[in-house]
Structure 1
Amino acid sequence: MVKIGCDIDGNLDDSKFSEPIPWVGIYVAAASMACLLGMVTDAINGIRHRRFWFPCKFFSLNATTLTLIAVSVKLSVDLNTPMPRRQDQLAKLSSSVLMCTIIGNSLPSLATMENKEILMTLMAVGIIVLTVIVNICIQFGTGVIYVFWIEHVSVMFLMLVLLALMSSSALTIPMTKKILQLLYNKEYKLALKEGSYEIGETVVNKLREDLMKYWMMAHTSSPQFVMGRSATCTASGAFCLLSAMILAEAILRSYFMPWTFKFCSGESDYKWANILIFVVQTIAVGVGTIAPAFRWFIAINFRCPKNQKESCKKLFKVEVYWIKTLLRMKECPLSIQIRDKRYRKLAHGAEVFCLNFCIQMQKGIVLMSKAVTLISIFFVSRILRCCNYCKEVMSKFNNNVSSINSGEESQPSSKLDLRRFVLHLEGEDDLVELMMKKNCDATNHWIQVGEKQQPKRLLMLLEKSTISQGFKGVGEFDSDQVPPLDAEKPPNCWALPVVTMASIAVALPNINSCLTEELICTLNEALPYVKFIENDLDREGNLINIRMAADVVWLGVDLYRKWLDVDLHQLSLQEKNPKETLQTLADAAKRTYQEFKLKHIYVCLKEIPSKWPAKVLLANSMYRISQNILLNYECRHGHTSERLFEELRIMISDILSACLTNLPRVISMKCLNSAIEDSEDSVRHAVYILGKSKKIIKMLEKRSPNLGPNQMGNIDEWCSMHKQKSPLYFIPCSPKSETEAAASKSSDLYLTIE
């Protein structure tokens, strides 16, 4: 019997070893395509939002992308596969250039990482880079790479330079984050104190001006933006562009000057897959160079002021934050415990020597980066001056045309001065004016985006609220007259009573299906606002279990018209009156609660009511609200389904209105309660929410109750306020005689004396 892998004589049969190689090539091309798609998405995202420093959102350095990178550069580390043809040798070069492009493209993503993550990422990138360089050098010796020697050597040098720039940038990240976080907190407090409390100014206008300040602070202190405008990142853009130019030069020279090369005949084991790899990686290099090149060009544009000589003097200065981390490490004692004094002294001296060397290296890298910027300015400044001159001429022409067409002089608009809110590091003073001009209109843009998505159904529902009576429905949905299922009552969140009453409304008989569908669609618009408010007000997570229970039950009501196991749609089709429907829901809730009690969960329920299981919390809410409505139902005669449905809508509207009075405070809070890495996204989201909720805030701005800020965010505090204000709410009535009922038909407000 012949063994697999051996021939008839028992020798190793390697004739089929190279057959899977083209499929490996497809694997490499697929990994390169994934890198290409990530960089394309980041480029499109940056252009779309006019963020021409191109933050790394979709293609940042992490475990996934590092794995893709390692696969993408396989051709560079392949030592023994023959590469005879032109496209084979070019594929080798494109693989190395792709590594340079990826480093330059994803450099700002380091700014969003924690310190340990930065260290591990640097080590991983360093291992890949050193492996590529060593293997290319081996291939020089073995003859696998026999052309493009100068290009390969140049790319390897650029790879090492980019790795050094990445390491240098990583050293500054912890310190710059601390500095910017302190500056942000300081300016935020000053902005709160100053405010904008002009007479007659609306809450929306105050919030808009405050958010313009917060946006400027958040945007200019964004770690990726700070990294993107740094000297090292600017220099990495120049080197990344240079590596792409080297690849372009090699491609053009090999195709248009073929006599300068002598390629071998034969075929690579990768066969046709090499062409696919080369094409995909060349496109990836071209697209991936967009972000680094733009960062480099915009930094040059920023650094080309009118007084260029004064700028050059400041340019060659190494600011403290570049070496502060190394200086602190130098001041700290050794963490390794050594008993012998001589060895301890020797180790300390070695540490100081190494750190001094690193400090000098860091200074050298920073000065080199600034020199690259200065050289770039020297070559590009003339082009920029021509472009600026053309822009000035065009702007003057447009101004003249607009003044002629309008026939009157335009009044200068009073814009908010945001210079003080531009957060910048040492040495960036000359960028303040430019950053302010480029980014001050972002708030208006996101407000306009939000305004296009106003919640129309929610606004129509809020118009039904009893604003003039202080949202009395907040005090009506629950009553102390209802006997509790347990000795202790769990707290409420804003969403739970809303979804419970919506479930009751869906279950009511003889209600037009269009009305219930409209209510559900309205709550789908409203609940994201409620969730936005509760997420910020419940930061300690005391109500997280109750909020999750509300989400669970609403999912069933919205998709399946079910409250837990109760089919609300089937219940509404039964020929029952509203009282019987309410009793059915109350009994189902009580039964659900007792089932959990029988399963011995009751013991743990008595300790922390807010931590009860979701089904128990939902059962408790449904039981109390159903019984409370039944209590009022007994007091009123002729209470039809349509009328009860309308009253439920008004109560829901009141609860939502009371909840949404917290919107201005939560929007302002969202701008501070986040890490420096997330502050830009938080402020942008706050601005967007302001745009979406402008009409809601205007509707409710003068209807805030006499409660403290913390009390306003708690629905139970609102309930207590209403019960203290109106002690006659929900007092059970004895059944009336027919004559008494007839006498009371003229007014339905006798139960709600205020």
Structure 2
Amino acid sequence: MGKLGCNINGYLDDTKFREPMPWIGLYVVAASLVFLISMAVDAIQGIRNRKFWFPSKFSSLNATSLTLLAVAMKLSVDLNTSMPRRQEQLAKLSTTVFICTVMGNSMPSLGTMENKEMFMNIMALGILVITVIVNICIQLATGVVYVFWKEQVFIMIIMLVLLLLLSFSALTVPTTKQYLELKYNKKHQVALKESSSETGKTVVDKLRQDLMKYWVMAHTCSPQFVMGRSVTCTAAGAFCLLSAAILAEAMLRSYFMPWSFKFCSGESDYKWSTTFVLVIQTIAVGIGTIAPACRWFTAIHFSCPRKGNQSGTKEFKVEHYWIHSLVEMKECPLTLQVHNRHYRKLVHDAKYKFLDLCIIVQTGIVLTSKLIRCISVFFVSQILSSCNCCKELTRKFKFNKSVSSTQSASESHQPRLKLDLSHFVLHLEGEDNLVQTMMKCSRDPTEHWMRRGEKRRPKYLIKLLEMSTRGFMGVGKFDSNQVPSLGSEEPPNCWALPVVTLTSIAVAIPNISPRLIKELILSVNEGLMYVRTIESDLDAKGDLINIRKAAEVVWLGVEFYHKWLDVDLRKLSLQGESPKETLQQLVDIAKSRLMEFHKASHTNLCLKQSPSNWPIKVLAANSMYRIGQTLLLTAERKNGQVHEKLYEAVAVMISDILGACLTNLQRFISMRCLSTAIEKREESVRDAVCCFGKTLKILKLQEQRAVPSLDPYQIACIDEWRSLYMQKKPLPSYTAESEIASSDSSDVYLTIE
């Protein structure tokens, strides 16, 4: 009978049922620890990046976090396990406060969600919150929770309020996104017109100012920032701070005023694990309250009377975007098909009544949130005024000692400070008073990310690009139209494949210093990082995807193993007696592979396909055949003199191709500021600013080169460059420096030490 779970008397033996409970408590600790870490990381990132509205990147509301939250609330929903001791009753309370903290902390993440995802997450969160509240009410009635009942009631009310704030704030997200997206597009056009109308500035200076404008626009219209600075999020921060204060009050009273409580003796089934739950969840509440409390305090700081903000009736105006979605839903007819006219009328009337109620609730929530903000401002403004007086006195005391240094610093930064970006701040109705504050908070990161990018500039690539010729003539000379084609058509070129093919040839050339080979590979590797991103963004139709894959496969072998496909380039270099023989071997190997493919295609008609869709190895072989044959033809025209200069010629061709490709950097950086979705635009603009810092020296270097007169779409295509050079059109010279730096010789090589 023991195997069936019964004792010798035939009764159910439940003594072993309680043994896993401490381990279940550790399971709760693990889930709470994940939240603690995620909220701590968000707090650290917010402080580090000076985003004191604290975006919820790691502690966002999603399926994973909701599942972990369901695990972390185990103690709150446990109806029949006794909790006699102090730490167990406190653990019950800390779990409910922990839920409030998670809700308030993750509120800005609503801005990053799609409508359906947001609806499902809010519904799931609502079910969890209602479940917790019902279970706590049952425990209060049955006596499982027999102390801190007042605190539990207050926390349940706060949980309901936070759920309402999250639910009705989510209704405004689609409206604000749509409005700010339209506003961003208009301001983007304004920025382009201002940039095109400015004269006397270099491309680098124009791009720097454009990026500052794009950053201000992207940052101020970031959905998380919009949600984080809203009055409902501010109110949520106040309620989170209040819930944490309630937990602190209960803990302090229980430990420092033990005579005011009478706890039961005995031990819970969770045993020692409840102490761990209490400690971890209390720490999580403390860390998780940082972000909501800072959002609340920042809103108060911006709304204080000393800021010059207007008060009165305008403060309690409910802007239209708060109820826009509800009004639209009310005006749209129901898609529900009800044949009976009487019942159909009842359904429509019920919908109108329900949405009218929702509009009233939404209006009440907004007005209450604004009232909370005004009350907070009233009590905190005196403290802020005292702090400001102390700062002013300190500043006046130190002013005389630092006049000269301050003046020199202001003079050095004066040109950039003159740029007025206030009209690029994107704000909603009722946020006019925050424009100047948001502008000041949004401008600093651009300089930070530029400097950070400059510290990580590609030094090997810059050294290689300094070898490029006037007009990047090597783009037109790496593949000659005199090379006989082995097929009926030729595949198009991408930027990366000729570069990796030429690098493979350079590695195979005999008697070249290993140091030069290593530096060339490092340079090309840095250049390909930019080539990949440029081609990925500019190849919108995806016509070159297969060819770009071929370049990736070839480069993987060249960089790590010094192999072109399965050909050992270093071994070929050691065996070769002259550069021409080595080059001829590579051409022969590539030619044989091409001939095999074309022979198989003629034999089996099913193998015939567009050149762009050829197998990757065939595309690589075709590139090697054409480029290698072109170099051999050049060697014959130079009567053998180029044999000793082959490495130099190849290196300059690589430099020219990379330099020509990187002329798309300006367009690429501008596209990154517009083409991404509004949820990811701030991060995209930040990456563009960092990319500008990395390539700043490259952009300045390219201003000294003459660039062909092609439109932006032609500049993005290497075959358009080749077509221009095949026509032998003259190249315009943009600057006097480019004329001085250019060489009169048309040779595609320079001497490398």
**TM-score category, normalised to shorter length:** over 0.9
C-alpha spacing 1:21/1:461, structure 2 compared with 1 (3 Å): same
C-alpha spacing 1:259/1:554, structure 2 compared with 1 (3 Å): same
SS at match of 1:3: helix
2:696 is equivalent to residue 689 of structure 1: no
CA contact (8 A) 2:83 2:267 kept: yes
Matches within 5 A, 1:487-636: 487-593=488-594, 603=605, 606-636=608-638
Q: For residue 451 of structure 1, what is the aligned residue in structure 2? A: 454
SS at match of 1:386: helix
Aligned pair partner of 2:440 in 434, 437, 441: 437
Q: Distance in 2 between matches of 1:2 and 1:484?
A: 85
Q: Distance in 2 between matches of 1:102 and 1:404?
A: 49
Aligned pair partner of 2:650 in 648, 651, 655: 648
**RMSD across aligned positions (CA):** 2.3
Give the aligned length.
731
2:406 is equivalent to residue 418 of structure 1: no
C-alpha spacing 1:340/1:594, structure 2 compared with 1 (3 Å): farther
CA-CA distance at 1:186 after TM superposition: 0.4
Q: For residue 26 of structure 1, what is the aligned residue in structure 2? A: 26
CA contact (8 A) 2:309 2:433 kept: no
CA contact (8 A) 1:578 1:640 kept: no
CA contact (8 A) 1:511 1:642 kept: no
CA contact (8 A) 2:549 2:616 kept: yes
Which of 149-158 and 635-644 deviates more?
635-644
Taking only the aligned residue pairs, the percentage that are identical comes to 62
SS at match of 2:56: coil
C-alpha spacing 1:605/1:296, structure 2 compared with 1 (3 Å): farther
CA-CA distance at 1:346 after TM superposition: 1.2
1:184-216 C-alpha deviation (Å, 9 max, x unpaired): 000110111121654431111111111111111
SS at match of 1:377: helix
CA contact (8 A) 1:88 1:274 kept: yes
Q: Distance in 2 between matches of 1:611 and 1:507?
A: 28
CA-CA distance at 1:686 after TM superposition: 1.2
1:288-338 C-alpha deviation (Å, 9 max, x unpaired): 000000000001111113377832321111000000000001110111112
Matches within 5 A, 1:76-225: 76-195=76-195, 197-225=197-225
CA contact (8 A) 1:316 1:370 kept: yes
SS at match of 1:447: helix
Aligned pair partner of 2:721 in 677, 697, 718: 718
Matches within 5 A, 1:326-345: 326-345=326-345
CA-CA distance at 1:509 after TM superposition: 2.1
1:107-132 C-alpha deviation (Å, 9 max, x unpaired): 00010010000000101111111111
CA contact (8 A) 1:605 1:611 kept: no
Q: Distance in 2 between matches of 1:366 and 1:427?
A: 12
Question: Counterpart of 1:585 in structure 2: which amino acid?
Answer: L
CA-CA distance at 1:545 after TM superposition: 2.2
SS at match of 2:645: helix
CA-CA distance at 1:217 after TM superposition: 0.8
Q: Distance in 2 between matches of 1:611 and 1:169?
A: 49
1:483-508 C-alpha deviation (Å, 9 max, x unpaired): 22321211111111101111111122
CA contact (8 A) 1:454 1:693 kept: yes
CA contact (8 A) 1:162 1:239 kept: yes
Q: Distance in 1 between matches of 2:455 and 2:555?
A: 27
SS at match of 1:725: coil
Which of 705-714 and 439-448 deviates more?
439-448
C-alpha spacing 1:605/1:513, structure 2 compared with 1 (3 Å): farther
TM-score by length of 2: 0.93
CA-CA distance at 1:153 after TM superposition: 0.8
C-alpha spacing 1:697/1:307, structure 2 compared with 1 (3 Å): closer
Question: Counterpart of 1:112 in structure 2: which amino acid?
Answer: T
SS at match of 1:306: helix
Q: For residue 670 of structure 2, what is the aligned residue in structure 1? A: 668
C-alpha spacing 1:208/1:123, structure 2 compared with 1 (3 Å): same
CA-CA distance at 1:389 after TM superposition: 2.2
Q: Distance in 1 between matches of 2:173 and 2:343?
A: 33
1:162-200 C-alpha deviation (Å, 9 max, x unpaired): 000001110000000000001000011011112165443
Matches within 5 A, 1:218-233: 218-233=218-233
2:284 is equivalent to residue 284 of structure 1: yes
Which of 298-307 and 585-594 deviates more?
585-594
TM-score by length of 1: 0.93
1:458-479 C-alpha deviation (Å, 9 max, x unpaired): 1111111112xx1111011112
C-alpha spacing 1:404/1:690, structure 2 compared with 1 (3 Å): closer
C-alpha spacing 1:593/1:89, structure 2 compared with 1 (3 Å): farther
C-alpha spacing 1:345/1:692, structure 2 compared with 1 (3 Å): same
Question: Counterpart of 1:440 in structure 2: which amino acid?
Answer: R
C-alpha spacing 1:307/1:626, structure 2 compared with 1 (3 Å): closer
1:213-264 C-alpha deviation (Å, 9 max, x unpaired): 1111111111100100001000000000111111111111110011111111
Q: Distance in 2 between matches of 1:457 and 1:552?
A: 22
SS at match of 1:262: coil
Q: Distance in 2 between matches of 1:253 and 1:409?
A: 53
Q: Which runs of 5+ in 2 are unaligned?
A: 731-743
Q: Distance in 1 between matches of 2:598 and 2:143?
A: 79
C-alpha spacing 1:485/1:604, structure 2 compared with 1 (3 Å): farther
Q: Distance in 2 between matches of 1:589 and 1:131?
A: 69
